[in-house]
Amino acid sequence: MTITAPARPGGPRATTRVGPARLAYSLLAAVALLALAVLASVMFGSRTTSFGDVLDAVAGTADPYVTTVIESRYPRTALGLLAGVCLAVAGTLMQGVTRNPLADPGLLGINAGAAASVVAATAFFGASGRTDTMWWALPGALLAGVLVHAIGSAGASTSLVRLVLAGAVLSAVLMAFIQAVTLSRPKVFDSYRYWVVGALGGRDFDVFTAVLPFAATGLVLALLLGPGLNTLALGDDSATSLGANPALLRGGGLIAATLLSAAATAAVGPIAFVGLAVPHIVRALVGIDFRVQIVFSALVGPTLLLAADVVGRVVLRPQELMVGVVTAFVGAPALLFAVRRMRGNG
């Protein structure tokens, strides 16, 4: 499989060749690592259970206490899978649409929109509890993404510079609102400071099922856009000559990234770094074909997020670190390794 794309603006073209054997081995490794991350998420916590305990719990023959402990970890594992897929694929879309390797879902102001909505609901409408917070965060995140996209598309076509500026301005305005409310209302701040870090624990399957339709829609749209993003990587003129519509592809990518990011943020709070790091890791492994990148991002993202959650649960046992704190420590070395490898190959 060969995809040719500009290595950098105005520079020579770079060709990345990824053979089917390497893709197959990488796919098997990614699936195996994800399976291990899921198993570790079910096994480890404030009380460690064995692999045999997990099998007994699944079969219904385990001790009732052990079964309760293991089953209590199912929702956070499911949310880790969902949020990891959403954030990683959204990051891949954002970097492909903007052709900016530093782009991530936060570029659309989605995190700030969700946070502002949560703060407003807590301060003025008495929202409490993680389920209530989720229902307020979701429309706030979606509205922020729509506003940024509308401003970025105000002209004849979507302007990437205008898009980034709109996201930065909207985020700044919303963060000022958040600071004003939380500083004047200590109770709101107490609730907000837990949500804003990002966590998988303390949520049930109701949260998972509520955001699943948005996540599924965004993922299906992302898969459909994969071939088009490959042509978009060649530049607007080349994409047009190949029969693609750059404005439509870019708009579709932004919509898919908005749906995915909003679903993840509403479910588990704003978790940084996953959407930025995973696309770099995936490109270092399987090349620049977006059809392959999207699939592998959907495998590597939840692996990274679940691994971070497991580390957060065991490092300060019986207490735990929020997964949003741990992702930077887990993902930063992987991102640095990927960047160094890409530089070496370039």
Dihedral sign computed on CA atoms, order 12, 13, 19, 23: positive
239 close to 5: Cβ distance less than 8 angstroms: no
pLDDT score at 335: 65
Cis before 227? omega within 30: no
pLDDT score at 342: 57
Instruction: Please give the sequence-ordered ranges of beta strands (E in DSSP) within 88-231, or none if there are none.
Output: none
- Chunked in runs of 10, what are the mean pLDDT values of the chain (346 residues)? 43 55 92 96 88 88 87 94 96 88 81 90 81 82 87 64 86 94 88 83 88 95 93 86 86 90 90 88 89 96 94 86 83 66 56
Taking alpha carbons only, the member of 229, 90, 103 closest to residue 167 is 103
14 close to 5: Cβ distance less than 8 angstroms: yes
* CA end-to-end distance (rounded Å), the chain: 19
Q: Would you give the distance in Å from CA 140 to the centre of its chain?
A: 17
254 close to 144: Cβ distance less than 8 angstroms: no
110 close to 145: Cβ distance less than 8 angstroms: yes
The pTM (predicted TM-score) of the whole model is 0.87
- H or E element at residue 250: helix 246-268
Paired tokens of 65: 């206490």
Collapsing DSSP states into helix, strand and coil, what is residue 244?
Answer: coil
Query: pLDDT tens digits for 244-287?
Result: 888 889 889 989 999 999 999 989 988 888 998 899 889 888 98
- H or E element at residue 3: strand 2-6
Taking alpha carbons only, the member of 89, 123, 124, 110 closest to residue 269 is 110
Ordered DSSP codes for 62-102: S-HHHHHHHHTTHHHHHHHHHHHHHHHHHHHHHHHHHT-TT
Distance between CA atoms of 69 and 76, rounded to whole angstroms? 12
Domains of the chain: 18-65+294-320 (no CATH), 94-272 (1.10.3470.10)
pLDDT score at 157: 52
* CA angle 276–116–254, rounded 5-degree value: 40
pLDDT score at 317: 81
